Structure 1
Amino acid sequence: MVDIPKTDSTAPFRLMDLPNELIRAICFDDGLEGKDLKSLRLVNKHISDFASDSFAEFYLESFTVVMTRSSIQAFIDISRHPRFSRYVHTVNISPVYAFSEGLAALVRNLTPVLMQTDQKKEKCEPGPKEVCFYTNRYFAEKRLSDRDAEWMLGAAFAVLAKRDQHLGLAFDVGESNPVGAKAYLYHRYSNEFGNDDRIWALSWKETIHTTIQAIHQQGCDINGLSIIGVQLGSYRWKSTLCPDEIEAELATVCRQLESITINFDFGDIKATLFCARRILSAATNLKHINLGAVSDDFHSLTKYQVLDCIPSPSIESVSLLAFAINQLDLMRFLAKHQAAIRAITLRNCRLQGSWESLVVWVRDHLPKLDHLEMDGVWDRLDDGPGYVQGGPLIKIVPGEDMKARINEMLKDGRQK
């Protein structure tokens, strides 16, 4: 008679008892949050080996560096890490600064009640912690010179360049996932002061100048560039995005780019589009364009030769957000790249022309198109005032029959 081993049904479950494949699958489960991954790394060395990769993918794929010594040092440490550095895909260098007038504005609004626990006040006001963290950031930024910032950034990019990693570079006021800045980034976006231009200053020119110089000197490969200022928009902080002093260095970096995103919702659009033109005209290998800016000038893209200046022959996708644009100008650009265009996205755009005739033209002239999205496109048929929302929500994704779906939408639109 064969003895059957007894099992204790009350024995506690142990993660260690699972096969390695299941442990890895658990660590990479989409339902895990950052705090869960941190906890898993502390279980033991075996579990930590699996959780560390998921942890790095979660936290280090994209992060923000602010212009302080501790934050840039954290960037250097990440770039030198033998295991974690390979997970770095996008580095955001924040153009946001604390300044003396902002500190004075915070002090004037100081109350003894902490903002995050103040549930009764209709208007949130900064508490002592806000002032403390802001002050820490102000002095941390003051202690770092432009020369030291460039040298330290260069040290980080130099290591990544040796690893032959293609990176995305961003200048974004959002400051998501900041590194090395725990002491002075206290809930910046959890209150009304987080986006207040009385509190925060923008320094596009200096930040871009310092970063591009560091990248150029180290020969780091950059395949994507994003410049985003929509969350802290104001006429107060007008600044040139592309300094003349680094035109050659900027051109060298831009020649590597495959994708460019420039998105602003404030100020004089002329300066923004002029800088966009300088960047786009140097991007000889560009494939993907994403532009967003609030403008009432239908011919702004043509007037400043933003799209016409692009030397790349193989634009695969174009996305426009919150633009006023002339239909003929847009079709002229798309026609130049009809052999390569695969995706078009228009969101919250004001169109001088007709969404229906634009869609018909797209159907008949862009044979490789497999993604078309039009959301909130407003028609303007003449020079008279006002708009009509002529276009429905259109979303055609790869795998669908483009011509059949467009014909179906046109038929539905005419029946209404």
Structure 2
Amino acid sequence: MNKGKQYDYLMLGHCKYSRRAPITLRIASLETSIGHPVHVSGKNRIMPQHSMLRLDTIPGEIIDVICDELGKKDLKTLRLSNKRISSVATTHLAKAYMFNLCSLMTRRSLEKLAEICAHPDFGPHVRKVHLSSGRVHPREMRALIERVEDMQRRIPPPTSAQVKRAKAKMQDAMNRSSKEYELETSGDAVTLLAQAFASLRGYQTPVILDISDFEVPRWDPVTLFLDKYNHFHGEPELCFKSTMEPCLEAIFRTKMRFAELELTVDAFSIDPDERGFDTQEMNLEDLELLSSLNSISFDLVNTFDEAGTRSAGHVLSYARSLESLTYRQGCDDLDATEWPPLHQPQSITNRQFGIADTILSSVKSTGLKSLWLEYTPISFQTLVDLLEKHADTLTSLYISSVCLRDGSWAEVFSKIKKNGRFVIELDTGNLSQARSELRGGDYQPLSLPREWTLDPSSGRSEVEESLHKLTNAPSLEVLNMIERRELAQGQDIPELGS
């Protein structure tokens, strides 16, 4: 605990980790801070400022208010006090820090995950299990060793402290790499995940399963990370397949029904076998467990292989209770706000359109309420079919940095205006249309002018007003004319005297 740490209305003092040490508080102006007088020794009176009292004599409701203001370290300290205070502190610690458990695919991480999920006080508060699909690849280890060796040959040479720190980081990475390899070869990942999932299933609480290649520093600071080997500063190797498939097997083994699924693949995998996952050979009865999913988020880069694309669609087809869908394909170049003058965005391949069409046409739910599409190409018919299928349930629609093929945005929004009578939230921007190119069947995105990026609409009247404007969005022919005019205006003008 940080002794003397200041809070809005209290300062901790004399707190020790020993169970026998007295735990006291210095309390100032509690009446103005919590809105009512403090009851001490059965008397209803206001405590004078800076008065000292033993923590174990304070009423439970005051302990509850105090715990609301404490950080993780302080709450862990309070858990070492008497039974009454420990119970309150444990509940606050669980609510504040156990809802999102982040784990590497190492034995230590997964053992901790299973232990916390099985804890009678912590487990019921878990709302998200976040697994990293990043690994420290042996190839990266070789590069790291070479960098440390090069550093020691520099002129002027590094200090002994710098060398020691570099070697410590290298050792951390080697430890993590060996532990990841050990777990993968042992096959124990499924067993440990199944232990965690079985505990969560018993609480019957809604839990999110999140699999991504994000390293720990990019995660929300209030999440609880379960492994000390988090100091690797290189680029993690994406091993999505060997993370996703053990999770599915653990789900099938324990009959766990997750409420939400979030899959993020935003790094290139050198190993082609790791670029997706395969559900084609899995038991159909087991896959029925995915019917409990009411929210799915797919953030998939274009390196996702064909098996992974089919499997993502397979997952969607079983999620018959789906109410919220987010889909991103990773085409960041479709964000026109980031373009420099006269920028030509990257061409989009027919395969990229096919990936989005395969996944989004797999939705079998009939009650979709929220649809979020971003950084993706999509075919006109796929989008229209999806919108019309859920016209009676859709209430929230977000379409940004999306390139449309074989149709116009004006037609899309005309259909939404006609059929989407329950949409009360609409947000669109950075829309483009696909112009077919002669070579290889690629497409060139032509961005709609900025005046067609409207402010978010909330409420039926605002949505109808926005849709009325968007139904007049320019066609592909008009966009071609705008492009030719801008190119002509942007030609270099010779300087005088040249």
Same fold (TM over 0.5): yes
Distance in 2, matches of 1:6 and 1:22, equals: 13
1:128 aligns with 2:167: yes
Q: Residue 318 of structure 1: which of 371, 391, 394 is its match?
A: 371
Match of 1:374 in 2: 428
RMSD: 3.5
Q: Give TM-score, length-normalised by structure 1.
A: 0.79
Q: Residue 193 of structure 2: which of 137, 145, 153 is its match?
A: 153
The aligned length equals 383
Do the aligned residues in 1 keep the contact of 2:297 with 2:326 (CA within 8 Å)? yes
Q: Report how far residue 269 of structure 1 moved.
A: 6.3
Distance in 2, matches of 1:38 and 1:90, equals: 21
Partner of 1:367: helix, strand, or coil? coil
1:99 aligns with 2:137: yes
Distance in 1, matches of 2:211 and 2:363, equals: 21
Q: Report how far residue 166 of structure 1 moved.
A: 3.1
Q: Report how far residue 363 of structure 1 moved.
A: 3.1
Distance in 2, matches of 1:13 and 1:75, equals: 38
Distance in 1, matches of 2:192 and 2:418, equals: 53
The one-letter amino acid of 2:188's match is D
Q: Report how far residue 37 of structure 1 moved.
A: 4.7
Residues 1:8 and 1:383: Cα distance change in structure 2 (over 3 Å)? closer
Do the aligned residues in 2 keep the contact of 1:269 with 1:294 (CA within 8 Å)? no
1:139-177: per-residue Cα shift (whole Å, max 9, x none)? 222332443221222122222222223321121112544
Do the aligned residues in 2 keep the contact of 1:60 with 1:88 (CA within 8 Å)? yes
Partner of 1:306: helix, strand, or coil? helix
Residues 1:304 and 1:372: Cα distance change in structure 2 (over 3 Å)? closer
Do the aligned residues in 1 keep the contact of 2:97 with 2:224 (CA within 8 Å)? no
Greater shift in the superposed pair: 336-345 or 403-412: 403-412
Match of 1:394 in 2: 455
Partner of 2:303: helix, strand, or coil? coil
The one-letter amino acid of 1:342's match is T
Match of 2:386 in 1: 333
Q: Give TM-score, length-normalised by structure 2.
A: 0.67
Do the aligned residues in 2 keep the contact of 1:302 with 1:329 (CA within 8 Å)? no
Distance in 2, matches of 1:396 and 1:26, equals: 41
The one-letter amino acid of 2:327's match is L
Match of 1:116 in 2: none
Match of 1:206 in 2: 242
Q: Residue 217 of structure 1: which of 229, 253, 260 is its match?
A: 253
Distance in 2, matches of 1:7 and 1:315, equals: 55
The one-letter amino acid of 2:167's match is P
Distance in 1, matches of 2:67 and 2:126, equals: 19
Residues 1:413 and 1:50: Cα distance change in structure 2 (over 3 Å)? farther
Match of 2:38 in 1: none
1:70 aligns with 2:115: no
Distance in 2, matches of 1:149 and 1:68, equals: 8
Distance in 2, matches of 1:269 and 1:240, equals: 6
Residues 1:132 and 1:81: Cα distance change in structure 2 (over 3 Å)? same
Match of 2:418 in 1: 364
1:178-223: per-residue Cα shift (whole Å, max 9, x none)? 64311x111x4xx5x2xx2xxx322222222222111211111212
Match of 2:230 in 1: 185
Q: Report how far residue 406 of structure 1 moved.
A: 2.1
1:110-132: per-residue Cα shift (whole Å, max 9, x none)? 1669xxxxxxxxxxxx9222211
1:165 aligns with 2:213: no
Partner of 2:191: helix, strand, or coil? helix
Residues 1:261 and 1:250: Cα distance change in structure 2 (over 3 Å)? farther
Higher relative contact order structure (alpha carbons within 8 Å, sequence separation ≥ 6): 1
Q: Report how far residue 344 of structure 1 moved.
A: 1.1
Over alpha carbons, which structure has the higher Rg? 2
Do the aligned residues in 2 keep the contact of 1:369 with 1:402 (CA within 8 Å)? no
Partner of 1:387: helix, strand, or coil? strand
1:53-85: per-residue Cα shift (whole Å, max 9, x none)? 332223221122222221111111111111111
Match of 2:17 in 1: none
Match of 1:406 in 2: 466
The one-letter amino acid of 1:181's match is D
Q: Report how far residue 229 of structure 1 moved.
A: 1.4
Q: Report how far residue 383 of structure 1 moved.
A: 4.1
Match of 1:294 in 2: 330
1:65-106: per-residue Cα shift (whole Å, max 9, x none)? 222221111111111111111111111232222232221111
Q: Report how far residue 351 of structure 1 moved.
A: 3.4
Q: Residue 50 of structure 1: which of 75, 88, 95 is its match?
A: 88
Structure 1, unmatched stretches of 5+, are 114-125
Do the aligned residues in 1 keep the contact of 2:144 with 2:170 (CA within 8 Å)? yes
Do the aligned residues in 2 keep the contact of 1:213 with 1:246 (CA within 8 Å)? no
Do the aligned residues in 2 keep the contact of 1:209 with 1:246 (CA within 8 Å)? no
The one-letter amino acid of 1:224's match is E
